[in-house]
Amino acid sequence: MTTATTTRHAAGVTDAVKVYGSGDTAVRALDGVSVGFPAGRFTAIMGPSGSGKSTLMHCAAGLDTLTSGAAYIGDTELGTLDDRRLTLLRRDRIGFVFQAFNLVPTLTVAENISLPMDLAGSKGSRDWIDALVDVVGLRDRLHHRPSELSGGQQQRVAVARAFAGRPDVVFADEPTGNLDSRSGGEVLNLLGRAVRQMDRTVVMVTHDPVAAAHADEVVFLADGRLVDRMQSPTADKVLDRMKAFDGKGAPS
């Protein structure tokens, strides 16, 4: 890729290769991907099933390790970190929103939001969390248990938790995959507002063109390779680009 920019990258990978299994059954989930996720931007990773988009996110977020190549959070190379440091890095510098099961069922909404800070034993910023609670609109639900919330509300709590510690980057893995379109829209709006109004960085994996349209930029993956990037996407443009994969494959 030649999109060399002077923008600071919140996260990224270079020459990332991830191989699952070995010998005849080996699968190259990532096959030499280099990509940077600029700070203060909302990036969507798209691609058909099996393209390696989830693997890319897991490796960039320190949940999984690369077979070769390097992954960075800011200037920190993840490959040099042991499990403990990787955990502390996730706790202090990364936020997560998963597709489902984002919340610890025994903790209240408020406790779930402050969980990473509580694990770190730090107080965090009261004002910041207060503002977040208002942004996600859950002030009246703070002392409820996750089981008492709807799926959309649960995901909004997850978003609040992801941003609570003001991490360098928030990774979202199909955050709207289990939601109806209205709830999904709310969650995506939240992510967008966090980036644009609060200057946060979000990397989101999705297969939904409508979701991808909320991003500032979309990177396309196919067969473990980075095949395209699109600035200021719209749902239609993304859909068209995706349709091209079904046809003759990726233009390089």
Partner 1 sequence: MNASVRISVSSLRAHKRRFAGTFLAVLLGVAFLAGTLVMGDTLRAGFDTMFGNATKGTDAVVRSADTITTPGESQGVRRPVSTDLVKTIERTPGVAAAAPDIQGAGQLVGSGGKPIGGQGPPTLAGNWIEDPQLNAYRLAEGRAPSKSGEVVVNKGAAKKGDLQIGDTTILRTPDPVKVTIVGLATFGGEDGMAQVTFTGMTQADAEKYLTAKPGEAASIRVRAGPGVGQQQLVSDLTAVLPKGVEAVTGQESAQENTDMISSQFLTIFTTFLLVFSGIALLVATFSIHNTFAIVVAQRTRENALLRALGASRRQVTVSTLVEASAVAVTASAAGLAGGIGIAAGLQALFPAIGFPFPEGDLVISGLSMLLPLAVGVVVCLGSALLPAVRAGRTAPLAALRETAVDQSGASRGRAIVGGGLAALAVGTTLTGVLANPSLWLAGLGAVLALVAFVVLGPVASSTAVRILGGPLDRLRGVTGGLARRNALRSPKRTAATASALMIGVAVVSLFTVFGASLKATMDQTVSRSFAGDVAVSTPSFGAGGSGLSPKLAPAIARQPSVENAVGLGRGVAEVDGEGRALTVTDPVTLGKVFDLGDVQGSLDDLGTNGIAITRKEADKQHLRVGDTARLAFTDGKKESFTVRAVYGQSELAGDYVITRAAWAPHRIQDSDTLVAVSFKHGVSTADGKAAVRKVAEQYGNPEVQTRDAYAQSSAGGIDMMLTLVYALLALAVLIALLGIANTLTLAIHERTRELGLLRAVGQTRAQLRAMVRWESVLVAAFGTAGGLALGAFLGWVLVKASDGASDSAFAFAVPPAQLVVVALVGLAAGALAGLRPARRAARLDVLRAIATE
Residue number, 92 or 216, with CB nearest to partner 1:
92
Residue number, 20 or 234, with CB nearest to partner 1:
20
Size of the site for partner 1 (CB under 8 A): 27
Residue number, 151 or 185, with CB nearest to partner 1:
151
Closest contact distance (angstroms) between CB of 238 and partner 1 is: 26
- Does the footprint of partner 1 cover residue 91 (CB under 8 A)? yes
Closest contact distance (angstroms) between CB of 58 and partner 1 is: 6
Residue number, 51 or 114, with CB nearest to partner 1:
114
Among residues 28, 76, 118, 230, which is the contact residue for partner 1, using CB under 8 A? 118
Which residues touch 19 (CB under 8 Å, ≥6 apart)?
A: 26, 27, 28, 29, 67
Which residues touch 17 (CB under 8 Å, ≥6 apart)?
A: 28, 30, 31, 32, 66, 67, 68, 69
Q: How is residue 29 written in tokens?
A: 């989930």
- Does the footprint of partner 1 cover residue 166 (CB under 8 A)? no
Closest contact distance (angstroms) between CB of 145 and partner 1 is: 10
Among residues 105, 182, 248, 252, which is the contact residue for partner 1, using CB under 8 A? 105
- State phi, psi for 118 to the nearest 5 degrees: -65, -40
- Does the footprint of partner 1 cover residue 161 (CB under 8 A)? yes
Residue 36, Cβ density class (10 Å: 0-12 exposed, 13-18 middle, ≥19 buried)? buried
Please state, in angstroms and rounded to a whole number, the distance separating the CA atoms of residues 244 and 252. Answer: 13
Which spans in 94-222 are helix H?
Answer: 109-113, 115-120, 126-136, 151-164, 181-198, 209-212
- Does the footprint of partner 1 cover residue 102 (CB under 8 A)? yes
Q: Which stretches of the chain bind partner 1, using CB under 8 A?
A: 58, 63-64, 83-84, 87-88, 90-92, 96, 98, 101-107, 111, 115-116, 118-121, 161
